[in-house]
């Protein structure tokens, strides 16, 4: 089984995001970038499937600027076999990304696409569903457990009421949630090996995908600063403030 894993280069989750002075977006100049955390989980799951003998080949694909190749190298250092880099300086919307991934999946003959449930930079969380719809494949979203079978994959997915188990006939799309696994750290030998693994260069034009944006960002603002708390002398005062000021009782 050939497994495809999309990986995205995003602002590192430990870095505090800063809004540009003109409020046109988030300032990404001179800040640490890394792989989207949900994509790391997808990479780890793909590598585990290969180690378990289920996956025959694992491919990391990233759509982004030249520096996105670093994200692919990280996936290769974690154990992925090879990479595909679709180079573009545009900030693509989920539909355009899904169309490109569809073309890559068809060209590679992928049977399973493992991907993060959302990217932490825009939080759309729409690409997985769009991709499954374009491919006409079943999808298991918010995966807590992935158990491959003969021509199928069983996914325990996280829902509001607990866990729901679905059985998907391959080929299929699975989006990963936080509790699926704990991504490994790439060892120094594997980082060195990753430098020799192949990365195929592509562009959106190679797939004939129209990347014209359909959304317009009107304004990006920082959240309102949290106000300082106060101390109360007794329980009666606390209850009074919760009831009459906070309005939560």
Question: pLDDT band at residue 24, thresholds of 50, 70 and 90?
Answer: confident
* Predicted model pTM: 0.88
Helix (H) or strand (E) holding 148: strand 139-148
- Here the tokens at position 194 are 């990753």
Confidence (pLDDT) at 133:
98
Find all residues with CB under 8 Å of 81, minimum gap 6, and list them. Answer: 50, 57, 58, 59, 197
Contact 83, 72 (CB under 8 A): yes
Confidence (pLDDT) at 139:
97
Q: Beta partners for 57?
A: 2
Summarised one tens digit per residue, pLDDT across range 205-241 is 999 999 998 888 899 998 888 888 888 999 999 999 8
- Here the tokens at position 185 are 């750290």
Q: What is the dihedral of CA 186, 190, 191, 196, to 10 degrees?
A: -150
Contact 49, 3 (CB under 8 A): yes
Q: Taking Cα atoms as reference points, which of 123, 87, 120, 84 lies closest to residue 104?
A: 84
Contact 101, 127 (CB under 8 A): yes
Contact 25, 134 (CB under 8 A): no
Can you identify the CATH homologous superfamily of domain 2-246?
HUPs (3.40.50.620)
Separation of alpha carbons 150 and 172, rounded Å = 13
Q: Helix crossing, 94-108 with 127-135: angle to 10°?
A: 50
In the block, residue with structure tokens 């704990």: 182
Confidence (pLDDT) at 118:
95
Asked which of 26-35, 105-114, 199-208, 222-231 is least confident by mean pLDDT, the reply is 222-231
Whether the predicted pLDDT of 164 surpasses 90: yes
- Here the tokens at position 224 are 């309102």
- Domain map (residue ranges) of the chain: 2-246
* String of DSSP letters for 62-79: EEESTTHHHHHHHHHHHT
> 109: number of CA atoms within 13 Å, CB side?
5
């Amino acid at each position: 089984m050939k497994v495809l894993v999309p990986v995205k280069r995003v602002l590192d989750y430990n870095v505090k995001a800063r809004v540009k002075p003109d409020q046109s977006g988030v300032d990404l100049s001179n800040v640490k970038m890394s792989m989207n955390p949900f994509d790391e989980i997808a990479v780890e799951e793909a590598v585990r499937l290969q180690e378990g003998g289920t996956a025959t080949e694992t491919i990391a694909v990233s759509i982004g600027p030249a520096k996105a190749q670093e994200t692919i190298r990280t996936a290769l250092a974690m154990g992925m076999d090879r990479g595909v880099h679709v180079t573009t300086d545009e900030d693509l919307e989920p539909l355009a990304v899904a169309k490109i991934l569809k073309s890559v999946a068809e060209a590679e003959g992928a049977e399973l696409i493992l991907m993060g449930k959302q990217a932490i930079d825009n939080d759309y969380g729409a690409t997985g569903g769009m991709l499954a719809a374009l491919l006409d494949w079943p999808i298991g979203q918010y995966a807590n457990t992935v158990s491959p079978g003969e021509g199928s994959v069983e996914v325990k997915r996280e829902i509001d009421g607990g866990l729901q188990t679905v059985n998907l006939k391959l080929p299929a799309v699975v989006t990963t949630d936080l509790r699926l696994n704990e991504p490994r750290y790439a060892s120094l030998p594997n980082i060195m090996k990753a430098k020799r693994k192949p990365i195929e260069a592509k562009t959106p034009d190679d797939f004939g995908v129209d990347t014209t944006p359909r959304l317009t960002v009107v304004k990006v603002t920082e959240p309102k600063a949290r106000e300082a708390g106060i101390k109360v002398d007794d329980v009666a005062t606390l209850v009074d403030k919760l009831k009459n000021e906070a309005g939560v009782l």
